[in-house]
Amino acid sequence: MAKNFILILGGIRSGKSRFAQSMAAKLGKKVLFVATAEALDAEMAFRIGEHKKARPKSWRTLEININVGQKLEGQIADADVVLLDCLTLLVSNVIIGDGKSSASVAQKRVVSEIEDLVKCIDKCEGTFIIVSNEVGLGLMPANKLGRLYCDCLGRANQLLARHASEVYFMVSGIPIAIKGEVHQECERG
């Protein structure tokens, strides 16, 4: 079982990734960064490039957009810390999938993805950090796909939060510990 599983939640541009990277750097020398984003357009490619620049060059990076638990299991090797950024895009990737699934099938696929990820986390000997957006603070989306996405991500966050040893909520770059130990030294990043 992972010695430590940390979930970091927050809104867009709340400082989640910066905090997670600071924490990962302080918790281990060998960091495996798992990226779930896909560069499907120029703007997203730019964002991915900026995220890559913000990471230490010594970190190993894997780009996995779906079936993360299964694909990651044999790749962790001797990593002290595994940092997955982010669950938000992973859930989107799973829901969109083949584009033909019903809402109930999409929800089952998301739960299965999270269950596989938890199995992988449990086998990890080091620290596992996952970054995700909190979608429960805004208005209900006006369209069916948006509502399905919020339902699925909210459920995924809840499943992971129950399993996590520590959970943080980011507000304006400030981490608030809502479960477990507080890593004060990481706040100043």
Kindly report whether the peptide bond that precedes residue 120 is cis, defined as omega within 30 degrees of 0.
no
CB contact at 8 A, 6 and 23:
yes
Kindly compute the dihedral angle of the four CA atoms of residues 110, 116, 120, 122, in this order, to the nearest 10 degrees. Answer: 100
Q: Please name the amino acid found at residue 135.
A: V
Catalytic residue among 51, 60, 71, 155: 51
**Is-contact 85 34, C-beta < 8 A?**
yes
The angle formed by the CA atoms of residues 105, 111 and 117, to the nearest 5 degrees, is 135
Length of the chain: 189
Q: Decide if 51 is catalytic.
A: yes
Residues in Cβ contact with 50 at an 8 Å cutoff, skipping those fewer than 6 apart: none
Tokens 């798992």, residue?
34
Catalytically annotated residues: 51
